[in-house]
Structure 1
Amino acid sequence: MAAESDKTPEDRLAAKEIHSDFVSVTKRKTFDRPNDDPDDMPLPTDPRTIYLGGLFFLACLAVLYVAAEIVLPLVLAIVLKLLLQPLVRLLERIRIPRAAGAILSVLLVLVAFGASVSMLAGPAAAWAAKLPEAIPKLRDSLSVLHQPIDAAQHLMQQLGGDGSAETPAVKPSTLVGAVLSGSASATSGLFTTLLILFYLLVSGEIFLRRLVEILPRFKDKRSAVALAADIEKNVSIYLLTISCINALVGVATSGVMWLCGVENPVLWGAVAFMLNFVPILGPMVGIVVFLMASVLSLGVSWWAVLPVALYLGIHIIEGEIFTPMLLARRFTINPVAVILALIFWYWMWGVTGAVLAVPLLAVTKIICDDLRPLRAFGHLLEG
């Protein structure tokens, strides 16, 4: 009470204005940040500052690489939080508490993941079991591809040894143990991701609120609120739009495979959905995978090329018409930057890193566009 009585009327008025800005800023469609003078946030010129910044950046990369098992669930949770945040806010507007909305959102992710696994596990296992027998068939049918198919078969037979060694017999207990170990690791990672996601959704803007409280100047407080809301809004729009586009690509691919008579069309639609999160390289892998599936299902004929041609047409329409139409120019990214990001994040975190590479690059570009000192770097990333 004593602390409250010590506040001047100007302090009370400023606190009310900050609270009002904080409550209302995320509901706006546009965000008017103060026109700060360019000298307010100058680029560092002291060599020591630049060197320390470089060392800090390298240290962060080392932590991301070494602590991948800890950092990866956190990154996944943050991406999912940005994707589901609009849903939680929509539920809040219809009088559903934030905690209940967070629980419903996490359950939605869990149900979608469980339904996908239960629907696709059987067909995927069937194709995996069929692949060793299919390699000789492909080798006999496609004489042009003899050498790469022989190399693939040799690699499968000699996995873990040299070319002259006999293929070791795999004990059932060892195979079951490996499967159970992988399943336990995946389950643990999923549980950790969902737990972090729940608390991120429940906490809402608590981190932003604490940041606003420690900033010294009133202008900085308003700028931080508007900047954070702008970044979150743009990132959510990007992730939601890309996810919807990729889902449409998956549905269209599934329909094409079904019309052409390829087995398990839903599986190939899911594969197309996931591969489309990896631009450039994803569709290239998809062409090879769908060609093999078509040949195994339809035999060696021109008819087997039709599903691949239609998939390529779907990708061209998506990349040249729908994506540029639905995403503003500020969301387009330089193809060279995309390739470098794919290589880097695949090296860091494997396949999951490759899937997250473009969303993380888009988030980086959006943040750079909104922060004055980093706008030059954001311009370099622009396509």
Structure 2
Amino acid sequence: MVPVQNPEPDIPLSAAHDADQPDPNTVLTEPSGATERLPSRALTIFLGGLFVLAVLAATYAASSIVLPVVLALVLKLLLQPAVRVLERLYIPTPVAALLAIVLIIGTLVGFVAVLSGPAETWAQKLPEGIPRLETHLMVLSGPIKMLQSALQQAEQVANGPEQKGATVAIRKDLGLTGALFSGTRAVLDGLFTTVLVLYFLLVSGDTFLRRLVEVLPKFSDKRQAVEISQQIEGDVSAYLVTITVMNAVVGVATASAMYFCGLGDPLLWGATAFLLNYVPILGPLFGTVIFLLVGLLSFDGLWWALLPPALYFGIHLVEGETLTPMLLARRFTLNPVLVILSLIFWFWMWGAPGAILAVPMLAILKIICDRLGPLKALGHFLEG
């Protein structure tokens, strides 16, 4: 007698449907090759965007206070290793900080004193070279006049017909002396605030980092804060020292090239190349225009006048495309498009100091993003 097998029980459709659904208690993991994602919640992104806009608006409105503080923080990263070296020589921290600041201020004052004489000489030569410059630029006089007439016509169309009896507002101008006085006063106020904040930052040392470590609840957060602080100080200080050394090399090479091609005051042009090289990409482009104008003012032949900008551009090409990237590649690389946008934005916000601080601030942002999980995708986006 063959035993009869029991048929399989019917499975309800709802049970079969539930079987296809994942267990809510099961933890889903992403594959190992998945990249970090930005916060997925639209509300988080929206609030974060509003917070960033509010910070930027406050930074722009309070630039007279924020800019000196940011400049002091960056200079602190540069001078902190020197202060530690002086502390190892049994020099008290307040005295070591004061010596570092006096060294920086003395260097700047000596730099300006040495260059004031050649700059004044070239300012006196400028009126004499205007006819030579006009002779060189005679070819461009026609297109320039056409452009001026087109701009005047466009301005007339935009303004519309003139209205009779219109009220003309008369603005009282303070003149050149008042403008120079106000500008000098603002610069001196900013320098005083920068020096004051920088001194107390150097004296405090790692006090703020220790307090932050004490406040953080988890040991992993404490370790992460210390690692971020050490990496920022190491990378940014290495960047500033490397850039300063390379700028000095560019200045010496430019001064030598201008001396051999017959351009007067090579020390002035070497110092100009040294300072302009602190602003990546835009600084050398502006320097090329300066050397082009100086060549046109100094030499009668057009091709000989093009030699100074060609030499300067060649020196920058060797330095900017070969030496400096090779030295800084191990520390960090930044997206050149974002570097340009950062330079333009911070120049609009803070002027020339903002353009100088743009790259260090972008580098600090990348270091922080690389260390924080939710922001790793942004750090990868900033990478060159």
| Partner residue, 2:84 | 89
| Partner residue, 1:59 | 54
Asked if structure 2 preserves the Cα contact closer than 8 Å seen for 1:231 and 1:370, the reply is no
Partner Cα distance (2:38, 2:287) in 1: 43
Partner Cα distance (2:365, 2:67) in 1: 17
Alpha-carbon offset, residue 220 of structure 1: 2.3
- Structure 2 residue 108 is matched with structure 1 residue 108: no
Partner Cα distance (1:131, 1:148) in 2: 24
Partner Cα distance (1:61, 1:151) in 2: 41
Partner Cα distance (2:210, 2:350) in 1: 32
- Structure 2 residue 273 is matched with structure 1 residue 278: no
Partner Cα distance (2:318, 2:305) in 1: 21
Partner Cα distance (1:299, 1:363) in 2: 48
Deviations 1:272-319 (A, max 9, x none): 122212222222211110111122223334333222222111111102
Partner Cα distance (2:108, 2:370) in 1: 33
Asked if structure 1 preserves the Cα contact closer than 8 Å seen for 2:136 and 2:302, the reply is no
The amino acid that maps onto 1:134 is: G
- Structure 2 residue 197 is matched with structure 1 residue 202: no
**What SS class does the counterpart of residue 306 from structure 2 fall into?**
helix
Give 2:140's match in structure 1, choosing from 125, 142, 145: 145
Asked if structure 2 preserves the Cα contact closer than 8 Å seen for 1:341 and 1:358, the reply is yes
Partner Cα distance (1:205, 1:223) in 2: 15
Residue correspondence of structure 1 range 3-42 to structure 2 within 5 A: none
Partner Cα distance (1:187, 1:149) in 2: 40
| Partner residue, 1:257 | 258
Alpha-carbon offset, residue 196 of structure 1: 0.9
The amino acid that maps onto 1:61 is: L
The amino acid that maps onto 2:68 is: P
Asked if structure 1 preserves the Cα contact closer than 8 Å seen for 2:369 and 2:378, the reply is yes
Structure 1 unaligned runs (5+)? 1-40, 155-172
- Structure 2 residue 379 is matched with structure 1 residue 368: no
Alpha-carbon offset, residue 56 of structure 1: 0.9
Between the two proteins, what is the percent identity of the paired residues?
59
Residue correspondence of structure 1 range 171-182 to structure 2 within 5 A: 174-182=175-183
Give 1:78's match in structure 2, choosing from 73, 76, 85: 73
| Partner residue, 2:42 | 47
Residue correspondence of structure 1 range 206-245 to structure 2 within 5 A: 206-245=207-246
Alpha-carbon offset, residue 339 of structure 1: 1.4
TM-score (norm 2): 0.77
Alpha-carbon offset, residue 243 of structure 1: 1.8
Deviations 1:39-81 (A, max 9, x none): xx99644433322221111000001111111111111111111
Partner Cα distance (1:150, 1:133) in 2: 24
| Partner residue, 2:356 | 355
Asked if structure 2 preserves the Cα contact closer than 8 Å seen for 1:135 and 1:149, the reply is no
Asked if structure 2 preserves the Cα contact closer than 8 Å seen for 1:261 and 1:297, the reply is no
The amino acid that maps onto 1:206 is: T
Count of residue pairs brought into register by the alignment: 325
Residues 103 and 330 (structure 1), Cα distance of their counterparts in 2 relative to 1, 3 Å cut? closer
- Cα RMSD (Å): 2.6
Which structure: larger Rg?
2
Deviations 1:307-353 (A, max 9, x none): 22221111111022211221125522212111111111111112222
| Partner residue, 2:249 | 248
| Partner residue, 2:308 | 307
Give 1:98's match in structure 2, choosing from 93, 97, 105: 93
Partner Cα distance (2:82, 2:378) in 1: 32
TM-score (norm 1): 0.78
Partner Cα distance (1:228, 1:272) in 2: 32
The amino acid that maps onto 1:355 is: I
The amino acid that maps onto 1:311 is: Y
**What SS class does the counterpart of residue 81 from structure 1 fall into?**
helix
Residues 359 and 299 (structure 1), Cα distance of their counterparts in 2 relative to 1, 3 Å cut? farther
